[in-house]
Amino acid sequence: MSQEHFICKLYEINLSTKTLSLDLIKKVINTLQLRGKEDPEAAHCLEDDLYKKFITAVANETVPKDQIVELAKELDKLSDIKFSRWYA
């Protein structure tokens, strides 16, 4: 399993410039596991942004149909990450 993660501050991660992929999802998960408690609000925003990116990709049919289940299973791991989920 890849242990690659983002090294910038959580609020500096912009998923709109990234292509949805299994590697991207794993990278966000690794980042949130390592640093989600540092800034829970930014972590929650990043988590929501990744969910939205997935839903948009499925709706726009930009993710291959044979990858949807695999990506969804990986996304489901986000709910296991322990950090406070809230917005100001």
- 87 in a structural domain: no
Residue 35 to residue 54: CA distance in whole angstroms: 22
- 2 in a structural domain: no
pLDDT digits (tens, 9 = 90+) for 34-65: 989 998 998 999 999 999 999 999 999 999 99
Q: How many residues does the chain have?
A: 88
pLDDT of residue 85 exceeding 90, the answer is no
- 1 in a structural domain: no
Residue 58 to residue 85: CA distance in whole angstroms: 25
- 86 in a structural domain: no
Calculate the alpha carbon distances from 6 to 43, 59, 61, 86 in Å. 12, 27, 27, 21
pLDDT of residue 88 exceeding 70, the answer is no
- 56 in a structural domain: yes
pLDDT of residue 1 exceeding 50, the answer is no
28: containing domain: 10-80
- 4 in a structural domain: no
- 85 in a structural domain: no
- 47 in a structural domain: yes
Q: Which residue has the higher pLDDT, 2 or 75?
A: 75
